[in-house]
Amino acid sequence: RKSAGWRNPSFSWPSFEAPTLRILSQNRLSGTVPDTLATISSLTDIRLAYNNLSGPIPAQLFQVARYNFSGNNLTCGANFAHPCASSSPYQGSSRGSKIGVVLGTVGGVIGLLIIGALFIICNGRRKGHLREVFVDVSGEDDRRIAFGQLKRFAWRELQLATDNFSEKNVLGQGGFGKVYKGALPDGTKIAVKRLTDYESPGGEAAFLREVELISVAVHRNLLRLIGFCTTQTERLLVYPFMQNLSVAYRLREFKPGEPILDWNARKRVAIGTARGLEYLHEHCNPKIIHRDVKAANVLLDEGFEPVVGDFGLAKLVDVQKTSVTTQVRGTMGHIAPEYLSTGKSSERTDVFGYGIMLLEVVTGQRAIDFSRLEEEDDVLLLDHVKKLQREGNLDAIVDRNLNNSFDRQEVEMMMQIALLCTQGSPEDRPSMSEVVRMLEGEGLAERWEEWQQVEVTRREDYERMQQRFDWGEDSIYNQDAIELSAGR
């Protein structure tokens, strides 16, 4: 039966025989609500929302358990006695609503389980934070290495941080690979050392050595290791990025307009580097020998404070074991003579390298410079400085970039300490703790007086040896040309 009050050309009203549910929402119905609907005694749910109906609603329909007349122009709502929709919820009889309830319940339970698992994991990590042990996955490295508080980075994380290890982010290149500038998602700037030959004994040993060294060496003048990354084909070390790069850069490679190291900054480099090496030698057990101390391996933070970096060539030496090595590591011009000739390194090897670094800081020059051959025979910076020191030509020693803005007495003090540190015999060199005290003004005068006496004697012996081997006037290398007779 179809009421005359309902008009929709595409809609055919079904039979009203004993229905309990009528859902006719959004059917473009117009006209008035037929009274015949109110005569259905078994009706429990009627929905006529969002049609074009108008006029009064039979009062009996408001007695139905669930109804909805919203979206029409009917006598219900805020200005009428009855609301347009009942307050009782609709039956969840549809399959979709039942599935939604089930999925919601299951999802809630799973969410609670995940939250609980994360809480347990985080709590366990917090307890083991002071000494966490990382184990490489199968096929990478089966050794267990204790890494303290270092973070283990994912390869993808460092790949994104360095823009896929772009060449434009290369900060430098060392003996075991390149160093890249990068940035973590939180904005932290980092330097990533990518070891390209870790599969060789030297490369892999360098990685393990550097990680272990940093885990036991923590000092304000030592470069702090943030973390590491290992894969089947890669070994990477992650450091904080040093805003002002290295001392060598600030001495010789800075760009126009960039600040140079003034004398006060150079003094901080001298004392800070000395304290860092003193810590490695005398406060670490077993002691740590750097073996490549130079201006390029002393970095500068945002406040131009020095930190000793690049432990790739360092050696962890047990005090009860020999320090003889089968392979000399270091940079020419910075290597102590006994280390170069015998392969035997010790903390006095680092003292020699520190002395050469002091000469770099004062003069601004490289440890080896072949351009000096144009004017003299001294290629090594040490020989060049000794010659100028004997001549008393201090002004020719000091870096011209300082523009005479330096303390003459402090320059003399630093030169004296450098020459004490670079004596040929390792037993004659001071320890790094003695160097720190001399930089602070204690004990230098006595050591310098002893050095001068030894140096005078050594110089006299050297000159006598030269005279002994000088050729006389009859030497075949010193004869005048002799006119030969005519051919026969």
The strand pairing partners of 73, in sequence order, are: 54
- Of 266, 269, 286, 288, which Cα lies nearest the Cα of 277? 288
Q: Which residues are annotated as a binding site for ATP?
A: 193
Rounded to the nearest 5°, which phi and psi values hold at 384?
-60, -45
Query: Can you tell me the distance from the alpha carbon of 60 to that of 42, in angstroms, rounded to the nearest whole number?
Result: 12
Q: Considering 141, 292, 350, 399, which one is annotated as catalytic? A: 292
Angle at 377 between CA 361 and CA 372, to 5 degrees: 50
Catalytic, 292? Answer yes
| Residue 273 · residue 357 · CB < 8 Å | yes
Helix H, strand E, coil C: the string for 438-478 is HHCCCCHHHHHHHHHHHHHHHHHHHHHHHHHHCCCCCCCCC
| Buried b or exposed e, range 202-237, using 16+ CB within 10 angstroms | bbbebbebbbbbbbebebebbbebbbbbbeeebbbb
Rounded to the nearest 5°, which phi and psi values hold at 328?
-80, 130
Query: Can you tell me the distance from the alpha carbon of 451 to that of 243, in angstroms, rounded to the nearest whole number?
Result: 39
Query: Can you tell me the distance from the alpha carbon of 451 to that of 459, in angstroms, rounded to the nearest whole number?
Result: 12
Give the length of the chain.
Answer: 488
Q: Counting runs of H as helices and runs of E as strands, what totals does the chain give?
A: 12, 19
DSSP helix/strand/coil, 59: helix
Query: Can you tell me the distance from the alpha carbon of 409 to that of 393, in angstroms, rounded to the nearest whole number?
Result: 14
Place of tokens 């700037």: 189
Kindly give the pairing relationship between strand 73-74 and strand 52-55.
parallel
Half-sphere exposure (CA, 13 Å, Cβ side) for 90? 14
Residues with a catalytic annotation lie at: 292
